[in-house]
Structure 1
Amino acid sequence: MARKKVKIELEDSEGSKYSIVVEGNLTREKVLKVFEMMNLLDDSSNEKYDAEEPNSLGERIMHLIEEEFPYGEFTSSQVLEAYEDRYNEPIKLSMVSTYLARFTSKGILARNRSGREWRYKRVLLKH
């Protein structure tokens, strides 16, 4: 089996640059842990959440996706469930789907068909 190699580069809000190379027997979980560690170094993402909770529905959904599904795939049903748990208010699946479609068209999310449902994933932009 060929050795897998992943290189991750990040620049934080202060201009510091981080680069990490992970090579060997990589699993999805190991790579996600590295991303989580790198995210802790990115002060700009943490500053966003120190502010008050987002007000609009779209902001709430995006905020929820960033916190609950930072690197993995998710469905509109999973977002709906997380939204209702977090904000303790009902929301229609069609509303969630509409916002996910908007985020996809803006390039914030990517989506793939999996059986009868769409699976979404955040698009990670290089700094």
Structure 2
Amino acid sequence: MKQKRIRIDVQDKDGAKYDFKIEGNVTKEKVLKIFELMDLINIEEDQAPNLDSVGGKIWNVAENSFPTGRFTSSEVLEKYEDEYNEPIKLSVVSTYLARFASRNRVERTRTGREWSYQIIRIAQKHS
């Protein structure tokens, strides 16, 4: 049986490069730990979304309009169009929210015929 190997190379906004490599018994839990570490490295970057990008604007709307409650892509679309005064397709909003869910930035739950989302907050542990 061939040994599994995953390599992830990333670069932060300051130009620092990070190389992650997992070899051998690669499990979903091990890969998720790498992604959690990557999120910790980019915490400062996530604090100020890039409002020049559609994804940054969608994240800004979700974070500011729905900081603790559940929301749908339709609600984000409505707030987005109100705040930025520009049209956007529901499919675009849904795609970005699905990406945020795959990056563990939002929790995604099926509610009837549509998905609902909630922003995931990382609680800081104090010793």
| Distance in structure 1 (CA, Å) of the matches to 2:57 and 2:48 | 13
State the secondary structure of the residue aligned to 2:58.
Answer: helix
Identify unmatched segments of 5+ residues in structure 2.
1-43
**Aligned pair partner of 2:91 in 85, 94, 110:** 94
- Residue by residue over 1:15-71, the C-alpha shift from the partner in whole angstroms, topping out at 9 and shown as x without a partner, is xxxxxxxxxxxxxxxxxxxxxxxxxxxxx8xx848xxx7110000100111100000
Q: Which runs of 4+ in 1 moved over 6 A?
A: none
| Distance in structure 2 (CA, Å) of the matches to 1:58 and 1:112 | 20
| Distance in structure 1 (CA, Å) of the matches to 2:53 and 2:80 | 13
**Aligned pair partner of 1:85 in 82, 88, 92:** 82
The residue correspondences of 1:95-110 to structure 2 (distance < 5 A) are 95-110=92-107
- 1:64 paired to 2:57: no
Bigger Rg, which one: 2
Q: Which has the higher contact order (CA 8 A, sep 6+)?
A: 1
Q: What residue number does 1:121 align with?
A: 118
Q: What residue number does 1:16 align with?
A: none
| Distance in structure 2 (CA, Å) of the matches to 1:48 and 1:84 | 20
Identify unmatched segments of 5+ residues in structure 1.
1-43
Cα RMSD after superposing both structures: 1.8
Normalization by structure 1: what TM-score? 0.58
| Distance in structure 2 (CA, Å) of the matches to 1:74 and 1:48 | 21
Aligned length: 79
Query: How far 1:98 sits from its partner (Å)?
Result: 0.3
**Aligned pair partner of 1:111 in 98, 108, 112:** 108
**Could you tell me which amino acid in structure 2 is paired with residue 113 of structure 1?**
R
